[in-house]
Structure 1
């Protein structure tokens, strides 16, 4: 299997919010809310709460009969603690969308949170020629979703 991380540099989005770290974490790890922020997408969580390593969910995107699934599994789950960062890693397990995503939340002094969303995204069937287009579209889409999830 190819090393997709080596094929395309990860997408990186940094966002600052006045929300406390715990609230930002809670909003960013509410997987069902993610689908509501991405056009033509709904997210279904397949495992019982609470989220932990092994939690699985699928984002289904499409219109009518033209759809694709983006199944993901939580492979790192480190919620923030008082004064320390939190990190969640999602590995994409689908036939179309491949790669991984990481969301890290860090406390800001004197208050607020810095969020870093990193994603290594590959679409099966699209050659490396399309990587810049995929990355640009993903930055736009995920940047908007991130801002909406953190909106007060």
Structure 2
């Protein structure tokens, strides 16, 4: 009986934490909505910036979407001037995608808006509470992605 209660309490805790993480993510995403990019478009542009030049098929795998879906997202990013298609030096028939200066600027602006929103929220907390949030986020980040080194975490900071 004790194990059942512990398991239910743990499940409730996890559900509550997930709700909080979802609320934080949605709030930060909404703050940067002025870019006009969908969440998928922004995530794809971020992936392109951090992995360019990259094939659309590799993008689809990285973003866990079907290749035709990724082709549509990339076409939209090309139309907006955020990315460009370039020849693949290893395969003359293939194209790679890379960010434009405008695409890099959009992501930088989104990052700035989100960081400012986060900073504003943290400023309402005491130094001790900020330290607690920082420690908790570090622990959770490491537990979720134990193989990432500090350079990968730097890349993750873009969005």
Whether TM-score is above 0.5 comes out as no
Higher relative helix content:
2
Higher relative strand content:
1
Where on the TM-score scale, by shorter chain, does this alignment land: which range? under 0.3
Bigger Rg, which one: 2
Taking structure 2 as the reference length, the TM-score comes to: 0.25
Taking structure 1 as the reference length, the TM-score comes to: 0.26
